[in-house]
Each structure stands twice: as structure tokens, then as C-alpha cells.
Amino acid sequence: MSSFEQRSFKQKRSFGARVKDVQTVKEKYPDKIPVIIEKYNREKSLPVLEQTKFLIPAEFTMCDLVRCIRRRMNLHPNQSFFFLVNDRALVSNSATVAEVYEREKDDDGFLYIVYASQEMFG
């Protein structure tokens, strides 16, 4: 791993610790979805988010989540980015975070999303 690569959330925390994190969050905030959002490891043009763990309202659509993350990254209006769920799935912007969570959540209970600019998919 080069000095420029960040360790992912999964690499930083053991499976057991992540499961415990989700259980604690679900007990305290049963109406929220535990989501990890990280920059795609080969992404070069987008900034890194200051935090990676998010509690997202279940009724949020993926479009709402994109807008929220876009604001956090302070992107210029002509900059675009995309979410990949589990490093592979592009999901509909009209799907709720709860729907995506039910289909795509990890065994540890988190929903993992990476973001990348358009060039990463070309």
C-alpha cells in the first residue's frame, strides 16, 4: 500500500467491532441506516470526506444522499461523481437508502458506498 492510499474502514476495524458498532447504532437510532461512504481507492480528482460513518434517515432517497455528500465535498456545479454500492452496484437515485440497505448491506450490518468521478467508469 502506497503512502497515498488510505486504509478502508473494513481494514481499520475488525469484523466483530463493526458488528458491535451496528448493533449499538440500531438500538439507539432504529430509524437510521448505518452507512460507510469512502472515496474509491483509485479516485484522484475528488476530495476525501472528513468522516466515513453516517447515519442516514431510512426515507432518504439515494438522490438526497448524493446531494448531502456533494455539499460536504464542496463540489463545483460542473463536477460529477457516482456512488458504487459494495464496489460494484450502481443504484437508482429514486431508491430509498432503506431499500438499498436491505438488498446490499454487508454481513457486518453496514451499507458500504464508494464515490468516484465519471472517469473511473470509462
The answer on pLDDT for 40 being more than 80 is yes
Query: In the Cβ-directed half-sphere of 24, how many Cα atoms lie within 13 Å?
Result: 6
46 vs 5, more confident: 46
Residues in CB range of 79: below 8 A, 6 or more apart:
45, 46, 117
Q: How many Cβ atoms are within 10 Å of 35's Cβ, its own excluded?
A: 21
The domain ranges of the chain are: 9-121
Interatomic CA distance for residues 7 and 94, integer angstroms: 31
CATH architecture of structural domain 9-121 = Roll (3.10)
- pLDDT for the residue numbered 1: 38
Cell 484522484 belongs to residue:
44
- pLDDT for the residue numbered 6: 65
Q: Read off the pLDDT of each residue in 9-13 and give the average, rounded to a whole number.
A: 92
Chain centre to alpha carbon of residue 2? 23
- pLDDT for the residue numbered 43: 86
The answer on pLDDT for 118 being more than 80 is no
Q: To the nearest whole percent, how much of the chain has pLDDT over 70?
A: 91
The answer on pLDDT for 78 being more than 50 is yes
